Structure 1
Amino acid sequence: MFKPFFREDKVLNQGTFLNYEVQFNLFHYIIEGKEVIALKTCDNNAIAIQNPGHAMWLWVNENLEKSKIDEIIGSLCNQLKESKLCLI
């Protein structure tokens, strides 16, 4: 469900995320780092971002149904577990 994105991707500057941009402005700082793990859903309703060695931040569109939010979080957990990323 999640796929990588890069600094050049406009996901942090468009869509629903803009309504939460001030609250999650740290995402803009993190994406500028040299080593970044940046993931988004295909519909841009969730963004996960991390600099290795630090906690991962997750934004999920809170307007989604709870079951969809649970599905997104479960998908991210499974994907991270399979990739064997070191999480804090």
Structure 2
Amino acid sequence: MIRRDRQEFSQAATDRAELIEQLLAIGTALSSASDLEEILSLILTKSREITCSDAGSVYLIDPRLEKPSLLFKVAQNFSKPTVSF
């Protein structure tokens, strides 16, 4: 039982360290990117990786309109990579 607890604790610590490394890599990549589409795509890709998600999308708020609206900006779907959004 104690050995199993140690293994679980060790695995959890390893998982946390990997997540921190991923987040640092994201921060580094974001600081060097200048294209908004590239940045949003990177954010979505890494978010999907971290959450083990098959698909995701990013929306932005367009404040230029009288009533702020959502703008569909980026979509990704691992199961259907050839489908256009």
**TM-score, scaled relative to structure 1:** 0.31
| Higher CA-based Rg | 2
- Report which of the two has the higher share of helix: 2
**TM-score, scaled relative to structure 2:** 0.32
